[in-house]
Amino acid sequence: MTDRNPKDDRSRKRDTSPLTAHRGMATWGEKLVPLAEFRKATAAVGRELSPEEREAEVAEFLGPPVDPTPVEGPFSKVAVFGGVYNNHYGLTALLDDAEARGVEAIYCLGDLGGFGPNPNKIWPLLERGGVRTIQGNYEESLASGLEDCNCGYTDPRDNHFAEISYRYTASHSSPEFKRWMGGLPKRRRIRVGERELLLVHGSPRRINEFLFHSTSPAPFLEVLLTQERADGFLCTHTGLPWHRRLPSGATVVNVGVIGRPANDGRTEVRYCLLEDRDGRLGVESVELGYDHRALAAEMRREKLPEKFVETVLTGWWTTCLEILPAKERHASRF
């Protein structure tokens, strides 16, 4: 873009007094040039397409990917959950609760490990319940032997605890379990009543994308669904459940997680019930109680961080908080 030699610019003296330096002048990189010269240069570059060309560009940019995922169903009532985080007490409670509610199928959106104790207890429970599971970033990382959970955190404070969780789960999961994780699909499609819904871990486009309620605007979700040619999608990954009905009539649900509470001061965890109600899609976020004291005791026996145990016992997150957007952080105790 620039063929300036930086040395040339450094030798060029300029008035560095901030109050006078730019009067009538523009900064072009490290040079000062007359404003008119800068504006003339910017006017001369960049594309200015015709209205028809712009339509064509947008159509190509938003073009849908080819998705050969088969559609399962149709169902009239299903349970969808995510983020087990090794909480076998929560998973046991979920299987009982979903069965009692008469669901036709149970889906898991991934992240079986992390946070809690004894990961190998999860696999037999999933088999027992006939749970149809997709890969989360945890399964993807464990199956491919990565040294990192690829959770997508950016703050060192979040990554510190994410590393503790991942190291524990990686060293306590059997090779057979990890191999099984590697064979899981990354997405599924289901039909509930008339609606075709996409099931993903993070988002339709990335396994570790965080979709929080306050940072997943309706127009953005509409574009994702248009690209996927679906009537809605369900995801997890963030740990916080929400549900948004879009102006088009489509539905997006973050089902939350059953591995730790929803950062609301309650010890219950959340999962989602989908039900066809005479052509309308019913979405219910179910509060699920489980033996959280037994989970806390087992976590202490496994010497997992006391901060994790505190979350289980109080319902407030104590770790991995920096990823929260402003609104969700405002509602958070810590």
Partner 1 sequence: MSEMTVSHSSTGSKRVPVVELRSLDTLWFQVAGTVCNLACTHCFVSSSPTNHTHENLTLAEIAPFLEEGARLGVKEYYFTGGEPFLNPEMEAILEATLGYGPATVLTNGLLLDPVRCERLAGLAAESDYSLDFRVSMDGYDAESNDPIRGEGTFERILAGIRNLCAAGINPVITVTEVHCENASREGRERFFRLVGELGIDKPRLKILPVFRMGAEAERSGAYESWQKLRAGEAPAEGWLHLQCSACRMVTDQGVWVCPILVNEPEGKMGTTLADTLGGFPLEHPACWTCHAHGVSCRT
Binding site for partner 1 (CB under 8 A): 1-3, 5-7, 9-10, 14, 16, 18-23, 26-30, 35, 38-39, 41-49, 54-55, 57-58, 60-62, 154-156, 205, 212-217, 219-220, 222-224, 321-322, 325-330, 332, 334
Tell me which residue of 169, 174, 227, 171 sits closest to 198, measured CA to CA: 227
Nearer to partner 1, 48 or 278 (CB): 48
Least separation in angstroms between residue 265's CB and partner 1 is 16
Q: Report phi then psi at 255, rounded to 5.
A: -80, -5
Nearer to partner 1, 120 or 215 (CB): 215
Least separation in angstroms between residue 325's CB and partner 1 is 4
With tokens 């369900």, the residue in question is 234
d(CA 143, CA 12): 57
Least separation in angstroms between residue 326's CB and partner 1 is 4
With tokens 């620039």, the residue in question is 2
Nearer to partner 1, 20 or 171 (CB): 20
Length of the chain: 334
Least separation in angstroms between residue 59's CB and partner 1 is 10
d(CA 272, CA 236): 11
Tell me which residue of 301, 306, 305, 271 sits closest to 289, measured CA to CA: 271
DSSP state of 314: H
d(CA 62, CA 207): 20
Nearer to partner 1, 6 or 124 (CB): 6
Nearer to partner 1, 76 or 214 (CB): 214
Least separation in angstroms between residue 230's CB and partner 1 is 15
Q: For residues 243 and 283, is the Cβ–Cβ distance under 8 A?
A: yes
Compute the C-alpha angle 318/319/320, nearest 5°.
140
- The pair of three-digit structure tokens given for residue 266, joined into one six-digit string: 């309650």
Least separation in angstroms between residue 240's CB and partner 1 is 13
Nearer to partner 1, 14 or 301 (CB): 14
